[in-house]
Amino acid sequence: MYSDRKKKKTGVLVTVLAILLVLVIALAAFGHSGRDVSEEGAAAIRETVRRSALQCYAVEGVYPPDLQYLQDNYGLQINTEDYAVAYDCFASNLPPDVRVVARGT
């Protein structure tokens, strides 16, 4: 009878610890996934801006002077609410430097 109680306590303790471990792992994974999504979104925007600039260069022979030109003439749409985009064009014959950062990070 004593060994049955001990086994039950041990079983309950192991179950509680297993549940806590699963919760900690799930919370850690969830916390990192939001950051990963923001980084992937920033990379996707950066690549889209670069491709739009390259398309402009292929069509017109010069890189666009700013993002507004790409938005007006090439249909580029950027989520400026969630991301900040820096577009630096040094010369019309050199590819622009594009930096994208998720806001709030």
Element (DSSP H or E) covering residue 86? strand 83-88
Residue 82 token pair: 């969630």
Contact 87, 96 (CB under 8 A): yes
Give the residue from 34, 54, 48, 31 showing the smallest Cα distance to 100: 48
At 51 the pLDDT is 95
Residue type, 29: A
Residue 1 has pLDDT above 60, yes or no: no
Query: CA 7 to CA 89: how far, in whole Å?
Result: 71
State the pTM of this model: 0.65
Residue 31 has pLDDT above 80, yes or no: no
Between the ranges 11-15, 17-21, 64-68, where is the mean pLDDT highest? Answer: 64-68
DSSP label at 89?
-
Report pLDDT digits (tens) over 65-78. Answer: 999 999 999 999 99
